[in-house]
Homo-oligomer: A and B are copies of this chain.
Amino acid sequence: MKKNPDGRISLELTVGEVAERSGVAVSTLHFYETKGLIKSWRNRGNQRRYPRVVLRRVAVIKVAQRTGIPLADIAAALSVLPHDRPLTAKDWQRLSQTWKQQLDQRIASLTALRDQLTGCIGCGCLSMQDCPLRNPHDELGEKGAGPVLLEL
């Protein structure tokens, strides 16, 4: 734990410290800053300094990314939240609920696709008589590929 000259825990973090403790590269922190995801102030020598709560913010960003949410959306969700003090319980609840819903959707999509695959493994999938993958009303694409005619 970094200490000040007087031996107490430092309240501010350098970019290297944030990198080490959050697990993201320094360059990534710079990048996030240009995207407005995090903020810093500068010391006399123009070096970035972060409040400790930035670690929480980075953690939240990473969680959201794991759910597949693009950075721009994360930035939008975080934009209404303060950079300089911890998120409130309410803040976090709202965020996590929204993201959980999106996550649920993605899981549902992937699960449905997996079940199709499972079925196709069984059916050999060569007669294409009843193959679900052939189903033109299939809307499972993760990126909204949309319905597609697979007339094989």
What residues of chain A have their CB less than 8 Å away from a CB belonging to chain B? 20-23, 52, 55-56, 59, 62-63, 66-68, 86-89, 92-93, 96-97, 99-100, 103-104, 106-107, 109-111, 113-114, 116-118, 120-121, 124-126, 133-134, 140-142, 145-146, 148-152
A107 touches B110 (CB 8 A): yes
Which chain B residue has the least Cβ–Cβ distance from A52?
A: B152
Contacts of A103 in B (CB 8 A): 110, 113-114, 117
Closest to A108 in B: B107
Contact A96 B121 (CB under 8 A): yes
A117 with B99, Cβ < 8 A, contacts A59-B152, A107-B107, A125-B92 known: yes
Closest Cβ neighbor of A53 among chain B residues? B152
Q: In the assembly, what is the distance between CA of A52 and CA of B20, in Å?
A: 54
What residues of chain B lie closer than 8 Å to A125, measured between beta carbons?
A: 89, 92, 96
Q: Which of B20, B89, B93, B113 meets A67, CB within 8 Å?
A: B113
Most B Cβ at <10 Å: residue of A66, A92, A107, A150: A66
Nearest chain B residue, comparing its CB with the CB of A89: B124
B63 touching A133 by the CB < 8 A rule?
Answer: yes
Contact A114 B107, beta carbon cutoff 8 Å: yes
